[in-house]
Each structure stands twice: as structure tokens, then as C-alpha cells.
Structure 1
Amino acid sequence: MASHEHSLAGDGRSLSAGLRLDVIAGLTAAAVVLPKAMAYATVAGLPVSVGLYTAFVPMIIYALLGTSRVLSVSSTTTLAILAGTQLGLAVPDGDPAKLLTATATLTALTGALLFLASLLRFGFVANFISSPVLIGFKAGIGLVIVLDQVPKLLGIHITKEGFFRDILSIAGHLSETSMLTLAIAAAALVALLAMERLWPHSPAPLLAVAAGIALSWFAGLAALGVSTVGFIPQSLPSLTLPSLGLVQELLPGALGIALMSFTETIAAGRAFAAPSDPPIRANRELLATGAANFGGAFFGAMSAGGGTSQTAVVRAVGGHSQMASLVTAAAAAATMLVLAPLLGLLPQAVLAAIVIVYSVGLIKPADFLSVRKVRLMEFHWALAAFLGVLFFGTLQGIIVAIVLSFIGLARQAASAKVYVVGRKRGTDRLRPLSSAHPDDETFEGLLILRPEGRLFFGNAQQVADQAQMLVAKQKPRVVVLDMSRVFDIEYSALQMMMEGERRISEHGVTVWLAELNPDVLAYVRASGFADQLGPDRLFVNTRTALQHYLAGAAQA
């Protein structure tokens, strides 16, 4: 009984500690999400309040429906740019009322398209991003996030034109650096790094935010030229209805935004998933992001998706459930109602320091080296995904990642191996011949070949060429095709196998088939190949075929 009570007490402490970490993570993420959301609203040509709305309603809906434990959903840089471009075309005169209606329509369309993709189960596309490619993608977005914050550390302003152009632009503006801003940023970076090293998962970012606001208040940093978050209006979102008349005009842009929202969400969700977390379910993510966008549209939100920098903060500070997102959403509501003037004092340099400290962990050179040690080709994929993000941007980088993964999958599938099988001496164990087992037995006049994988039009010719080369080299009387590792065979490959059997039979070589799985056996029978061979040349397994051959050889 005492042991049971102790267990309950331990569980209670664990739940309490987890809740505390989620609250800290949610509040810390709020310090990152809310100012950035407001900034993204201005990028889209919208009032800063729209950014707060986007960090409120969509975040709550995703927290209730999403499969990621830590993903923080609001607007992102790319979504803001895409939305701004489309809204600029739909409302060229910038009329505030028309702009809010167009925003609601665009966001609702984005949500509806994500809903449709979920119903059609298009989430499978996300399964084709391999681990090495994801390593490269994560490192790329980590570097992009860090560079994005550098101007704020220096107190300079640049026009963003892409990763490498931004580096040159920053270098060209170094002479304009605000030494006071740089000093504040350096102090924040040192404090954050020191506290994280000495006190992992501490509320260091909250302390940095509090210190930054206090310093700004007492020293009047805004008057000294230090950039701060600035004015935030105090209001809750009101009901905004989409316009059916704008649907046709906004649909093409909504398609691009929906694609970006999903790809950023699934990539960020997987990038920050811990080994103990439940798997990220792509179709459910489509549903969750669709609901987040559709629901947010009626409350003035712009298009939303999973954010990498704020999710990095949530994970790094110790958040482990969507309670952190609900806390962030609550902070957004509190900001709208109460805290707007106070948060507006936060120096941008402190905010940038927080983002950098909790995003730089995405860049893991050791992971690249680990992949390179195992497989050089997959290291090249990781490197290409990394460079794809830097050269082409996040969306294009994800497309590069998916294309590379598809190429890798096709390359592997098309590179099917055909092994020569022998028997371990003194046993009945059959295995591919290798230099590691030089004593394995082979048998005069018999060649056992084991193709591996799915046989289809992409690799059928290669498999046939390998088999033909081995038959020409060994000159057997009987070839046993061990099909135990072939889980599927496509029509083209089956036709090539039948033609190959006819060809080598003309040279006095007999082909036997062994160990076909039920599906493959059904295809062989349906094609007429089983009739072509006859029942005496089909074997339950390769050991039976070997015994049959040896018995026949002994009788001869």
C-alpha cells in the first residue's frame, strides 16, 4: 500500500514537473511567436493585430487536433510573403476592410484545400523524406533562421533577397551597426548560453525577456535608437466572414499556401519529434492544419503552419505536450487584452538572441559525418537538401528534399541484387556466397540464384543481365531461382523471366523456381509461367530443391 502511495506521489510530481516545463515553454515560445507573428502580418501588408490573431485561434485548434506534441502553429515568413503577394493582387488599393475580407477568404480556402488533401490521403508524400535528407533540411533551415536574426543583433536593416545575397547585404551594412544594440544582443547571448550550460531547460529566455523589457523601460532604449517590438493594439479578434466572390481569384494562391503550410508543418513536426513521441501522422496533420486555417479565417487570422523557430524554443526549453501551445495562445490573448504595451518594450536584439540560441541546435555536423561514414551517396543527398534550402528557400528546399528522396528510392529499387547462394558446410543453412564465408559449399552443375526486392520494369533488365552473366560464367545444368526475398513481381519482370527461361533452356539449362510467396505464386500461375515450367520444377523452398537435385545426381 505504501509502495502504491509512493508511486502515485511520484506520478503526481512527474505530472507537476511536466506541466511546469510546458508552461515555461509556452511562455517562452510566446516571447518568440507573438512579436514575429506581428512582424509577419506587416510583411503581408496587414495590421499587426492579425499576427496576434494567427497565434491565437489556429494554435488552439492545432493543439487539439495535431499529432505533434510540441509543434507550434502560427504564421511563418514564407506564408506571410505568399499571402502578401496574393492579397496585393486581390486588393491593389489596400483598402483595410477589403483586405481583411480577402485575408479571411484566402485563409479559409487554404484550410479547405488542406481538408480535401486529408480526405484524399495525400499525406503519404511526406513519407518520402528520408532521414539523411531531413538532416540536411534541418541544418539548412537552422542556418537560415540564424542569419535571419543577425541584422537584429546588429541593429541594421536589410532587404531580404535570399540567403547568400543577405550575407553580402549584411556585410555591406556592417558600418551602420548600433554598438548599443550589439552590446545588448551579446549580453543576452552570453547569458542564455551560460544558463543553458549550467541549468539546462531553465527559464533563461523568460529571464532574458524580463531583463530586456526592464532595461528598455528604465533606460529608454527606444529613444536611444535601439529597435523594440513597438506598439501593439489591445483588442480581441472579431468575427470576419469570407467572400465567395473572391474564391476564384484567390484559389491559385491558396494552393501554393496550402502546399507550403503542409510541407513546413510536417517537416517541422518531424524535425522536432523526440524518439519517445508518437509518430507524426501526415494525413492527420493535413486535417489539423486545415482545421486551424479554416477556423482561424473567421477570426481574422492569416494563413498558418508549423513554425520551426518557435518549435525549436518549445523543445529546447523542455516542452513535451501541446499544453505549451495552449499557454502560448493564452499569452496571445493576454497580450491583446493587457500586456501589449509592456511586450512592445522588448528589444528586438534580445528576441533575436533567443531565436538563435534555440535554433542553432538544428545544425548538427556530427549527423552529416555519421551519414557519410555509413553511405556516401546518402551523405550527398543530405548535402544537396542543405544547399537546396540555402539556394532556393524553404519551400523549394523541401521540394528538393522530396525529389532527392524519390530519386534515392528509385535508385535503390532499380539496383536489385542477385546473389549466388551456397550452403554452410556441415549444415542445411543456405546463404549468399561471400569472402567472409570461403568454406561454403556449391554443387557441380547447380546454380542457386537469389534476387532480392520487388522485381518491376525499372530493374527487370538489370536482374536479367546479372542472372545471364552468372549462368554464362558457371555453365550449370540446373538454375534454381530462390524467390524467398522477392515480395512482389510486376508484369514486365515476369515476362522477362519467362523469356529468359525459354532462352537458356535452348542451351540445355533447366530452370526451377523455389519459395515463392502466395502473391508471387499467384502471378506466376496467372501468367502461364507455372504451366510452362510444369509442377516438377516448382518447389516449396530452396532446401527441398537442393535435396531433389542431389538425389537426382546421386541416382545418375
Structure 2
Amino acid sequence: MKDILACNLWLYKVFPFLRWWPMVDAQAARTDLVAGLTGAIIVLPQGVAFATIAGLPPEYGLYAAMVPTIIAALFGSSWHLVSGPTTAISIVIFAAVSPLAEPGSAQFISLVLTLTFLVGVFQLVMGLARMGVLVNFISHTVVIGFTAGASVLIAASQIKNFFGIDIPRGSHFYEIIRQLVLQIGDINPYVTSVAVATLASGILVKKFFPKIPYMIAAMLIGSLFALLLDSLFGNEATHILTVGALPAHLPPFSLPDLSLVTIKKMSSTALAVTMLALTEAVSIARSVAVRSEQRIDGNQEFIGQGLANIFGSFFSGYASSGSFNRSGLNYAAGALTPLAAVFSALFLAATLLLVAPLAAYLPIPAMAAILFLVAWGLIDFHHIHSIFHTSRSETVVLFTTLLSTLFVELEFAIYVGVMLSLMLYLARTSQPAVVPVVPAGEEGSYHFEDAKGHVECPQFCMVRINGSIFFGAVDHVQRSLLQIDEINPQQKSVLIIGGGINFIDVAGAEMLAQEAKRRRKMGGGLYFYRLKDTVYNFLKQGRYLKDIGVGGFFPAKSNVTMAVFNTLDPEICRKCQARIFKECKTTLPGGEPR
């Protein structure tokens, strides 16, 4: 039985699609089929546009949305991530390769394919080395902020197509808004009416006919409306642009240039594209997983993306990653398994082979309206509202990430959010709570409660430390212990309730040893109660117990107060009225009756 389980686990690691394949029944297949068809329609103009941005022939953008999409779906961990060409990677490729070869030339294409192969190798190695843990530093709040910002960018990028105005490709968000304001009098009413008709029909179909694929219905209505306007007024008057005819053949086999000279020339760029592609893919996968409540395996996602780019480089595909538009659309269209992404690639191939000329009738303003719907659906208003009302620091992270996405760069926004999250995390962990406590009032209780509202012992201070004592927290904990002397110099002995201390490093151990020696010189001592075994063993292995004192450690449910009670000054106890310990009520330290 154990051998069978081990064999299954091995198969799941090598062929991760075996995990979700049992979920595919007739209903799931139909749903994924519809989602895949929708995705194939949307990727037609996007692939052409992205390839143009990258300096490649238009068909290469479509090739990048076929084989890489299938491989990434089968070997990744996300059920909704759809891989393919992206804006950011297209821009980086053009900027890095165009100085080395003429864009669109055979040499340019060869260098891009080599770059794609190297990116895939780097990604695969990182996945096999289990470096997917890096994605844990992308917090939930960062993902929500990034998603919201990217959604706004998706909508902003379609403003020119929605209103029929001239905005330079690749313009920043603020420039798009400025151009919209400047050109508001030049809005094309025919183009805008097609976009509005598509948008309105999508909203209405989704609300009143939920069983009908609202995006496909909206596309059909928008296309028919555009044809009607062209027939009534003529395309010379309407200026409604369409996708245009596409080449009718499958991705040809290609061979990257793997000579040492070319590899050396492209390796540094490949590493940069690797980090960008992985950041995009995993961030998008996690952002969709927040909505679908699915767990993402970062290591498997790295492997899936790596294999996708390696295979893609041999089938004329340039570097791909997770596509925000297509992934969001895939989820919004109701996809249940990665089979939807596979269907999307197959439908795209079928479209090229069978109905490529019909793509000339797909109006671009209708596609802009569809992307408006996708962008709106990706903004997580519920969680944004929750974060805004529960955590000021998380709100700062969210809106910093969102604004960075809009006004800086898409990929840089993630780095900003991650760095800010880490800074806030370190700020919190570097100041663990040091809370004064007193013995609980219940008879026979071994617990301690907050000292607020209770009388404390004038000679013996008890504190609970909630947090790890590492190099970043040493100064805060040390200052808190020194502050005990400043508030009450008679409290020479200190008991640390250590159940909340999960970790301690060398700096923390050195500080505690120093504090124990200091308090002994004062005539008191440093004691520990309920310290975790891992923390105690660390102190023991580091030989810090000698400085602290072996007798200063008390396990759970031991009477620590009785042991410390006899070390107190009996003269101070004679005049003390607090008497918070059970022993105080009958005797003085040393055994003298009261």
C-alpha cells in the first residue's frame, strides 16, 4: 500500500495534470470548452499586437499562445493561469535584442528563440531547485493591489480602441488619461457605439441569461452591430477597425541558436526575463487563486513555465508567461480545469487553419469592451474594503502596490509591494510584545494573566514575550528589560513567560546571557517558564545555560513562584501589602511566619 502511494506521489510530481484530470467530466469539459473558445477569440488581436511590440512578425505572437499554453497548463499548478505572450516581456525582448539585430529579420528571430530557450532552462532549474518558496514573499495584500492596478491598466490600454482615438502604443497610464481628456472632442461615435453595445449586451446577458456565455454573446452582438453600421454608413465614415486576416498554418518547427557565442550574448537578458516572467506568472496565478480558493505550488509553476518556454522555442514561440488578460478572462468565463487553456490553444490553431479570414470581421472596439468587463471583474472590491477597515499598514501596502502598477511599471509594482510588505513584517517582528503579567487568580492555576488592573510584586517582575528573539528584535527586548529597572529599581528578578518565543538566534541568546549576569550582580536573577524545547535546546547547545543558570528554567505546570520567592528580600516583603503569591500570605522569604 505504501509503495502504491509513493508511486502515485511520484507520478503526480512528474505529471501534475493527473491531479486534476479526474475532475474532468462532461459538464466540466463543456464549461472548459466555452472558456477556451472565448480565450481563443480574445488572444487573436493580442498575439498580433504583442509580436509587433517585440519586433517579430505578427504570427509569432499567435505561435507563442499555442504550444507554450498547452505545456504550461499540463505541467503548472494553477487551474486558471493561461500562458502566452505578454506586454512586459514583449517590450523587454525588443529593447534587449533590437540593438543586436534588425527587428523582424531572421537573425533577430533566431536570437529571440535562443533567449526563449535560456529563459525556459533557468525557470526549470529554479523549479527543480525548489526555489518556488520565493513566491511566499508576495503577500495576499500585494496580490490584491497588483490585481486591481493591472485591471485598471487593462481597461486603460483599451481606451483608444473603445473611443476610436489616437493614443501612442505603450503610453503610460497618466498619458492615456491625458490624451483622453485632450481628444475628448475627437471621439468616434461609431466606434464608441459598437463598444458600448458590446459592453451593455455583455452586462445584460450575464445578469438575465447566466447560462449563456456572456462574452461570446457580447462579441457576436458587437460584431453584428459593427457590420450594420458599416453597411449603413460605409467603413470610410465609421472607421471601425477589425483584427484582419491571419496566416492559415500551424507553428513551424524552429531551432534556437545554441552556440556558446549566442548563449553568452543572451544569458544576462535571459536571466532578467526569467525573473520578470516568473514574477508575472506566479503573481497572476495567485491573484486568480485568491478568487478560486485554490492553492498554488510555486515550484510546480516554475517547472511548468520552464517547460513551456523550452518547448515553445522549438515551435516558433517567443518567451511567454502568465497572461493577465487571458487568465482573468479564463476564470470569468467559468473555466474549471487547465483543460480550458488547452482548448484555447487548440481553438486558436483551428481558427488559423479553418476560419482565419473570418477574423477580419471581429471589430476591435468590441474586443475592447470585453476587456473592460474582464478588468472590472478582476478587482476584488470585497477584500479591498476589508483591508481598508482592518489594517492601516496593509492598506498602505495595497494602495502603494496599486499606484506603483499604474504610475511606474507593472513588474516593478510587485517588487515595491514585496519590499514594503517585508519592511512592515520586519518592523512588527523586531518589536515583539513584552507584556507584564501576574499569576492567575484561580486556585491551583499555573497560568498568568495581563497585569493591567492588578497589583504587581515590588521585587519580582513577570513578563510574557510574544515573538521571536532574533538579531532584529534584540534591541527592543533588551530595552524593555532595562526599562523594568528604571520603573522600579527593586524589581531585580525577572521571570520571562516563554511560551510565545518560537525562535532565538545567537544574538538573542547572547543578550539573554548578558542580562542574566547583570541581574545576578544586582542581587536578582533571570528566570524562564514554559520555554519551548527547541529554544531551550538551542541555548543548551550554545552553552548559554552556564551564564543564565541551569536552575533558572522551569517547565510547564511547575511552581516557579515558590522557587523564586525564597530569593526575595524578607524586609521588603514584611512591609508589602500586595501579596500576590500564595506563599506571601503565610510566610516571609526564608520561612519566617508572618
Q: 1:13 to 1:484 in 2, by over 3 A?
A: closer
Alignment counterpart, residue 450 of structure 1, candidates 447, 464, 477? 464
**Within 5 Å, which residues of 2 pair with 1:331-480?**
331-427=347-443, 428=445, 430-433=447-450, 438=453, 442-443=456-457, 445-474=459-488, 475-480=490-495
Q: In the alignment, which residue of structure 2 is the partner of 1:19?
A: 29
1:219-257 deviations in Å (ceiling 9; x for gaps): 467554111111211111111101124222222222221
Larger radius of gyration: 2
Matched to 2:128, the amino acid is: L
Cα-to-partner distance string for 1:323-376 (whole Å, 9 max, x where unaligned): 110110111110121121112310011111111101112334443332132221
Which shows bigger deviation, 442-451 or 107-116?
442-451
Per-residue deviation, 1:201: 6.3
Deviations 1:440-497 (A, max 9, x none): x754533222212221111101101112212432432531122221111111111111
| Greater mean alpha carbon deviation, residues 194-203 or residues 323-332 | 194-203
Q: Paired residue for 1:136?
A: 145
In 1, Cα distance between the equivalents of 2:451 and 2:184?
61
Please state whether the residue corresponding to 2:361 is helix, strand or coil.
coil
| Alignment equivalent of 2:258, drawn from 244, 253, 276 | 244
- Report the CA distance shift for 1:535/1:425 in structure 2 as closer, same or farther (over 3 A): same
Q: 1:28 and 2:9 equivalent?
A: no
Aligned residue type for 1:531: K
| Matching residue within 186, 207, 231 for 2:196 | 186
Q: Would the aligned equivalents of 2:197 and 2:221 in 1 still touch at CA under 8 Å?
A: no
- 2:155 pairs with 142, 146, 150, which one? 146
- Structure 1 pair 138–278 and aligned structure 2 pair: CA distance change class (3 A): closer
Question: Measured at CA, do residues 201 and 485 of structure 1 come closer, stay the same or move farther in structure 2, by a change above 3 Å?
Answer: farther
The alignment status of 1:106 with 2:115, answered yes or no, reads: yes
Q: CA separation in 2, counterparts of 1:299 and 1:462?
A: 58
TM-score by length of 1: 0.92
Q: Residue type matched to 1:472 in 2?
A: E
| 1:109 alignment partner AA | L
Would the alpha carbon gap of residues 122 and 272 (structure 1) be closer, same or farther in structure 2, given more than 3 Å must change?
Answer: same
Aligned 8 A contact 2:41 2:348 in 1: no
Q: Do the aligned partners of 2:147 and 2:378 also contact (CA within 8 Å) in 1?
A: yes
The equivalent residue for 1:232 is: 246
Structure-1 separation of matches of 2:561 and 2:305: 57
* Structure 2 partner of 1:117: 126
Cα drift, residue 429 of structure 1: 5.2
Pair 1:485 & 2:500 matched: yes
Q: Deviation per CA, 1:36-76, whole angstroms, max 9, x where unpaired?
A: 11211111121121111111000100111111011111111
- Alignment partner, residue 5 of structure 1: none
Q: Does residue 1:538 correspond to 2:535, yes or no?
A: no
Q: Is the 8 A contact 1:67 1:278 kept in 2?
A: no
Give the 3 Å change call, closer, same or farther, for CA 429–181 of structure 1 in structure 2: farther
Instruction: Select which of 60, 80, 105 maps to 1:70.
Output: 80
Q: Tell me the SS of whatever aligns to 2:300.
A: helix
Give per-residue Cα distances to partners, 1:75-112, cap 9 Å, x unaligned.
111111111222312213x4532232222111111111
Matched, 1:292 2:308: yes
* 1:263-302 → structure 2 map (5 Å cutoff): 263-274=279-290, 277-302=293-318
Maintained 8 Å contact 2:197/2:222: no
8 Å contact 2:242–2:364 — kept in the other structure?
yes
List alignment gaps of at least 5 residues for structure 1.
Answer: 1-11
CA distance, structure 2, for counterparts of residue 471 and residue 454 of structure 1: 23
Whether the aligned pair in 1 keeps the contact of 2:40 and 2:344 (CA below 8 Å) is: yes
Q: What one-letter code is carried by the residue in structure 1 that aligns with 2:78?
A: S
Aligned length: 541
CA contact (8 A) 1:103 1:300 kept: no
Aligned to 2:464, the other structure's residue is in SS state strand
The superposition leaves residues 101-125 of structure 1 with CA deviations (integer Å, 9 ceiling, x where unpaired) of 2221111111111112223333222
Q: After the TM superposition, which of the residue ranges 396-405 and 112-121 deviates more from structure 2? A: 112-121
2:534 maps to 519
Whole-angstrom CA distance in 1 between matches of 2:104 and 2:281? 31
Q: What is the SS of the residue equivalent to 1:69?
A: coil
Structure 1 pair 275–190 and aligned structure 2 pair: CA distance change class (3 A): closer
Is this contact kept in 1: 2:145–2:402, CA < 8 A? yes
**Offset of 1:215 from its aligned partner?**
4.4
The residue that corresponds to 1:9 in the other structure is: none
Q: Secondary structure at the match of 2:99?
A: helix
How far, CA to CA, are the matches of 2:314 and 2:464 in structure 1?
A: 60
When the two chains are superposed, the root-mean-square deviation of aligned CA atoms in Å is 2.3
Distance 1:201 1:357, change over 3 A: farther
User: Higher mean Cα deviation, 187-196 or 416-425?
Assistant: 416-425
Map of 1:254 onto structure 2: 270
1:14 CA displacement: 9.5
Question: What letter is aligned with 1:43?
Answer: I
Q: Secondary structure at the match of 2:111?
A: helix
Where does structure 2 lack aligned partners over 5 or more consecutive residues?
1-21, 568-582
Q: Give the secondary-structure state (helix, strand or coil) at the position aligned to 1:479.
A: strand
Cα distance change of structure 1 residues 431 and 539 upon mapping to structure 2, 3 Å threshold: closer
Amino acid of the residue matched to residue 327 of structure 1?
F
Cα deviation for residue 19 of structure 1 reads 2.2
CA contact (8 A) 2:83 2:321 kept: yes
Structure 1 CA distance for aligned equivalents of residues 211 and 397 of structure 2: 33
Matches of 1:20 and 1:343, distance apart in 2: 24
- Tell whether 2:512 aligns with 1:497: yes
Residue 90 (str. 1) matches residue 105 (str. 2): no
Q: What one-letter code is carried by the residue in structure 1 that aligns with 2:189?
A: M
Residues 497-550 of structure 1: CA deviation (Å, up to 9, x unaligned) = 111122222222221122222221122123333123433222113643134345
Name the SS for the 1:237 alignment partner. coil
C-alpha deviations, 1:124-166, integer Å up to 9, x for none?
Answer: 2211122222221111111111111111101123113311122
Query: Which structure ranks higher in relative contact order (CA pairs < 8 Å, sequence separation ≥ 6)?
Result: 1
The 2-side partners of 1:51 and 1:14 are apart by: 29
Equivalent position of 2:13 in the other structure:
none
Letter in 1 for 2:472: G
SS in 1 for 2:435: strand
Among the aligned pairs, what percent are the same residue?
A: 25
